[in-house]
Amino acid sequence: MASADTRSAAAAAGPDKSPRKIAGMFDAIARRYDLLNHLLSGGLDLYWRARAVRELRFTGREVLLDVCTGTCDVMLTALKRREAGPRYAVGLDFADAMLRVGQRKVAERGVGAVAPLLRGDAMFLPVATGAADAATIAFGIRNVYDPHAALVDLHRALRPGGRLAILEFAMPTAPWLRALYGWYFRAILPKIGRMLSKHHDAYTYLPESVGTFYRPDEFGAMLTRAGFSGVRAVPLTFGVVYLYVAQA
């Protein structure tokens, strides 16, 4: 029997997470992705990203690797901090249309010289060993076909002592909130998502993928097995989102 670390989306009782399907889905919703993020989270996505960036404790000298960068919101949040941010940020994703939106945002903010974007798979990062001082993944790790493989390669890409911050949705543990959250995810979110994105599957996939992803304790243990230390799982907004912080 496969271990939890090597469990793939095809083997699990969850939605199809083959790279081609996931990339195609995000390409299809790229144009409305930012709008839907802000709308469906009630604007809390801004707080979640800022909170993750603060945990990285930038001094102005670091290289940031933002994996599953999407439309680049996390790396742009880091680069525009009033306090110190990274000196250089690399964004990586395998969805072309998402990267095109991100490239436009990077250009509009005038940070293209310090924020290159790469097309690549989170399981096979096209960066040198120890190239990054810090890394982020915001709401992308649950979409990766083999999360453990991605974490192992991310550990390789970070220098010893490099810092990691991962944001991911979770199912709240409080019964009343879990019931309310589940109702919103099943009955409201897919309808709004379909209406605005014009994509039938993407916002049905979201609650399915959250519901079948690893529990916070399971994912924290996976980070440890991938080589990370000092792993913390911090619940945000009553446990709707977890921030995972660790060191390479």
pLDDT for residue 122 is more than 70 = yes
Evaluate if residue 2 carries a pLDDT over 60.
no
pLDDT reading at 128 higher than 90: yes
Q: Is residue 8 part of a domain?
A: no
Is residue 213 domain-resident? yes
Instruction: Evaluate whether residue 43 is within a structural domain.
Output: yes
State the pLDDT at residue 5.
Answer: 45
Dist CA 248 CA 231 (whole Å) = 10
Say whether 167 sits in a helix, a strand or coil.
strand
Mean pLDDT, the chain, whole residue set: 89
What percent of the chain is predicted at pLDDT more than 90?
Answer: 65
- Does residue 162 fall inside a structural domain? yes
Residue of higher predicted confidence among 81 and 169: 169
**Cβ atoms < 10 Å from Cβ of 43:** 10
* pLDDT per position as a tens digit, 203-214: 677 778 888 999
Distance, C-alpha 232 to centroid of its chain: 16
Q: What is the CATH number of the domain that holds 99?
A: 3.40.50.150
What pLDDT was estimated at residue 41?
84
188 in any annotated domain = yes
Query: Is residue 1 situated within a structural domain?
Result: no
Q: Is the pLDDT confidence value at 158 over 60?
A: yes
**DSSP letter for each residue of 42-85:** TTHHHHHHHHHHHHT---S-PEEEEET-TTSHHHHHHHT-SS--
CA angle 185, 222, 115 (to 5 degrees): 75
pLDDT category at 87 given cuts 50, 70, 90 is very high
Write down the pLDDT at residue 12: 45
Rounded Cα gap, residues 18 and 207, in angstroms: 17
Predicted local confidence at residue 7, as pLDDT: 41
Range of the domain at 139: 19-247
What is the pLDDT at residue 188? 74
Cβ burial of 98 (10 Å; 0-12, 13-18, 19+) is buried
- The number of domains in the chain is 1
**Residue 37: which pLDDT band, with cuts at 50, 70 and 90?**
confident
Residue 198 included in any domain? yes
pLDDT band at 186 (very low <50, low <70, confident <90, very high): confident
pLDDT of the residue at 83: 79
| The two structure tokens encoding residue 48 | 């979640």
Mean pLDDT of 159-172: 95
Going across the sheet that includes 229-236, the strands are: 117-119, 88-93, 63-67, 132-138, 158-169, 241-247, 229-236
- Would you say residue 110 has pLDDT above 50? yes
The enclosing H or E element of 18 equals none
List the single range of 24-28, 102-106, 144-148, 223-227 with lowest mean pLDDT. Answer: 24-28
> What integer is the mean pLDDT of 44-62?
96
- Largest separation between any pair of C-alpha atoms in the chain: 50
* Cα 81 to the center of its chain, rounded Å: 19
